[in-house]
């Protein structure tokens, strides 16, 4: 029997339970992997709370990311054999698959090879963060060398990956964070400038940093009314990309009479991971950055699988800078 995290009702971290489960053999298009590390994401907290863009089907598992070793491959799977070290890419619904367990089934199409020398904790911190940043900043080619890029809520794993991605492209990353306690860590992470939104006027600071022109790209996971302050600090024709909904309030469309003409859009990682061609480009881009050292996943803190509720509580505290990873003992 394997062990997996399951929950039977919506609620806080305490609804998560470690249970014995039967995993079985992989079916067509599937792999069974022994999980060594799991990357936690805000999406899983929202899914557990019932505020994600789809609802759990009980009893529900959860989890989008993991690093481990292939134990078995489905009858039609090519490119993977038992013993391969791999990472799981978020390319499925948590109602279909989940990675919170010591042995799990995952789609082969959502799995990538990783070097055996790459530690599982690091490998579990890569794909959600870097593919999200890749899709918004690099895939469409809108972000160019020399552009100013605003990265809101920049201390998250995606925010840090976006800083590194902007630098990789040759753009100038401007990090925004709510309080000053994370400012130095963001500067150390490569941000050219840091705006502390609780203490500073964001539009004014953006205009000051960019000599009055405003930023060309803004990458925002918060949404809500705060997008108006972001829009007011953008360049005419810039791109405001909203990729999350941490603020559940209605997100206004910037008023053309009050702001420069902008391109505004929502974005989700699944635009990349569910399209084989786009995913292949993204994987190549991220692997190149990892190989050259442009990309270094930041792991803030690790927990054991038995401490999953504590790990979720830590994520909800917003104290982390980088990725929260859960390790699995065998």
- Each residue's pLDDT expressed in tens, for the chain with a length of 330 residues: 899 999 999 999 999 999 999 999 999 999 999 999 999 999 999 999 999 999 999 999 999 999 999 999 999 999 999 999 999 999 999 999 999 999 999 999 999 999 888 899 999 999 999 999 999 999 988 899 999 999 999 999 999 999 999 999 999 999 999 999 999 999 999 999 999 999 999 999 999 999 999 999 999 999 999 999 999 999 988 999 999 888 889 888 876 555 667 888 999 999 999 999 999 999 999 999 999 999 999 999 999 999 999 999 999 999 999 999 999 998
- Tell me how far CA of residue 308 lies from CA of 31, 49, 263, in angstroms: 24, 15, 40
Name beta bridge partners: 69. 34, 85
Question: Rounded to a whole number, what is the distance in angstroms from the first to the last CA of the chain?
Answer: 13
> What is the Cα Rg of the chain in Å?
20
- Calpha distance 305→124 (Å, rounded): 14
Report which of 100, 94, 92, 88 is spatially closest to residue 124, judged by C-alpha positions.
88
Summarised one tens digit per residue, pLDDT across range 230-248 is: 999 999 889 999 998 888 8
Q: What is the pLDDT of residue 259?
A: 60
DSSP state for residue 226 in the 8-state scheme:
G
Is 1.25.40.390 the CATH classification of the domain at 2-126+297-327? no
Does residue 222 contact residue 249 with C-beta atoms inside 8 Å? Answer: no
Report which of 39, 41, 101, 40 is spatially closest to residue 71, judged by C-alpha positions.
101
* CATH code 3.40.50.720 region(s) in the chain: 131-270
In 115-214, the DSSP E strands lie at 148-151, 172-177, 193-196
Q: What is the pLDDT of residue 313?
A: 98
pTM: 0.94
Report which of 302, 311, 41, 323 is spatially closest to residue 189, judged by C-alpha positions.
323
> Rounded to the nearest 10 degrees, what angle do helices 308-317 and 42-49 cross at?
100
Summarised one tens digit per residue, pLDDT across range 281-321 is: 999 999 999 999 999 999 999 999 999 999 999 999 999 99
* CATH code 3.90.180.10 region(s) in the chain: 2-126+297-327
Which CATH architecture describes the domain 131-270?
3-Layer(aba) Sandwich (3.40)
């Amino acid at each position: 029997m394997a062990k997996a995290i399951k929950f039977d009702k919506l609620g806080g971290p305490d609804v998560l339970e470690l249970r014995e489960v039967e995993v079985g053999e992989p079916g067509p298009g599937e792999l069974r992997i022994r999980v060594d590390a799991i990357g936690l994401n805000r999406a899983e907290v929202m899914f557990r709370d019932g505020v994600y863009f789809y609802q759990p089907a009980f009893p529900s598992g959860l989890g989008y990311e993991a690093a481990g070793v292939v134990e078995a491959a489905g009858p039609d799977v090519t490119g993977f054999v038992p013993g391969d070290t791999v990472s799981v890419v978020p390319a499925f619904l948590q109602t279909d698959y989940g990675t919170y367990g010591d042995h799990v089934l995952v789609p082969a199409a959502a799995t990538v090879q990783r070097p055996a020398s790459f530690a599982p904790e690091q490998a579990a911190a890569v794909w959600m963060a870097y593919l999200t940043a890749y899709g918004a900043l690099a895939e469409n080619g809108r972000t160019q060398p020399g552009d100013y890029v605003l990265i809101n809520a920049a201390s998250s794993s995606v925010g840090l990956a976006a800083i590194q991605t902007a630098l990789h492209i040759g753009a100038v990353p401007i990090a925004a964070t709510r309080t000053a306690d994370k400012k130095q860590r963001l500067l150390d992470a490569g941000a050219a400038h840091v705006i502390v939104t609780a203490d500073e006027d964001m539009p004014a600071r953006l205009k000051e940093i960019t000599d009055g022109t405003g930023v060309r790209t803004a990458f925002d996971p918060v949404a809500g009314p705060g997008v108006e302050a972001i829009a007011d600090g953008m360049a005419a024709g810039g791109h405001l990309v909203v990729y999350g909904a941490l603020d559940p309030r209605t997100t206004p469309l910037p008023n053309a009479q009050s702001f420069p003409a902008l391109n505004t859009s929502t974005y989700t990682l699944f635009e990349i991971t569910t399209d084989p061609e786009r995913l292949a480009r993204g994987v190549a881009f991220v692997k190149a950055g990892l190989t050259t050292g442009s990309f270094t996943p930041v792991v803030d803190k690790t927990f054991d699988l038995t401490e999953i509720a504590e790990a979720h509580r830590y994520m909800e505290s917003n104290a982390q800078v980088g990725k929260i990873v859960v390790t699995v003992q065998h």
